[in-house]
Amino acid sequence: MIHPATLIPGDGIGPEVADATVRVIECTGVSIEWERIELNAAIITESGKHLPPAVLGSLARTHVGLKGPVTTPVAGGFQSVNVSLRKQLDLFANVRPVRKLPGLKSRYEDVPIDIVIFRENTEDLYAGLEHEVVANVVTSLKVITRTASERIARYAFQYAKSAGRKKITAVHKANIMKLSDGLFLKCCREVSREFPQIEYTELIVDNAAMQLVMKPEQFDVLLMPNLYGDIVSDLAAGLVGGLGIVPGANIGERDAVFEAVHGSAPDIAGKGIANPTALMLSSVMMLRHLGEYEAARRLQSAIESVYAERKYLTPDVGGKATTNEFTNAVAAALN
């Protein structure tokens, strides 16, 4: 079977890690018909659209995307491409598995870390409803709805049930934002009653951050609104080695975009030392989404075997290998 998919390499190190990922997917034997769509800061600025028609048109045909990093200006310029994609395609679930890779040194050397974070992806403060009330006084509206909260909660519980996960922790600040986060918690509680086999707990977000650092092994699945999910998922990535080795997926009812969540790293672009692990592991999630479970298992196993050997790791994870040498090692492990 041939699977159509959209490839958005992005900018900075994006094209390098995207090419490496496409190569190892080919080594699994799965047939992907790629539609390669260029999207970077220069194209966005020139076109005047942060999501040019070619991007949305391709995803409308394929319904599956693999995306590298696209630079987003800070405090000005165009809107985040990621936020725009999530809104346009209603990619309501951001899914971030966080687990240790073998061979990487960590302050949590003997602590098992295997967490899946579910972040509501379409509302909260990311609704972008901001305005200046009077000079130098700005408001930003936090939007929480029953529809979105129930949908992400049910998706997380259904995942936990199918994956054999035992516990879901909802993360919130309902002690302060009693109406907005209160509604999110109410929805989580209601959905949890439909899954009595899964333990359900709650934590205030500041306590959750502390507990993650002190005892990460206590967590299984984390469920949270958009802003907390954004912050906590990056914090959790830091527990296992950083964003360069953590995958991500944005899932909707019809479409799905799998992406490396790290930045475009323009300072090392073109030097041949970028780490493609995050995008490769995101492609593992993509293969599972496509029903190619054995290929996904083999690719994940190949990546982990290269890490366990430690001979071909890139500089960001303590090695001296180039992007190409790491990719060659993963391809060899697959073959």
* Residue 126 annotated as catalytic: yes
Phi-psi map region of 291: left, alpha, beta (phi>0 left; psi -120 to 50 alpha): left
Which secondary-structure segment (H or E) carries 224?
strand 221-224
Q: Which one of 178, 206, 215, 311 is the catalytic residue?
A: 206
Residue 23 · residue 77 · CB < 8 Å:
no
Q: Which of 230, 255, 312, 316 is catalytic?
A: 230
Classify 234 as helix, strand or coil: helix
Name residue 48's amino acid.
G
User: Per the residue annotation, which of 126, 155, 228, 307 is the catalytic one?
Assistant: 126
Catalytic: which of 67, 159, 173, 307? 173
CA gap 31, 125 in Å, rounded: 39
In 3D, which of 317, 319, 328, 330 has the Cα closest to residue 280?
A: 330
* CA separation for the pair 155, 184 (Å, rounded): 14
Strand 221-224 and strand 64-67: the pairing is: unpaired
Known active-site residue 230: yes
Would you call 11 helix, strand, or coil by DSSP?
coil
Active site residue 161: no
Nearest to 82 by CA among 117, 142, 126, 46: 126
DSSP code, position 70: -
Would residue 267 show up in a list of annotated catalytic residues for this protein?
no
Name the residue type at position 171: V
Residue 10, Ramachandran bin (φ over 0: left; ψ between -120 and 50: alpha; else beta): left
Residues ≥6 apart with Cβ < 8 Å to 242:
262, 316, 317
Distance CA 5, CA 213 (A): 37
Amino acid in the structure at residue 310? R
Residues forming the active site = 126, 173, 206, 230
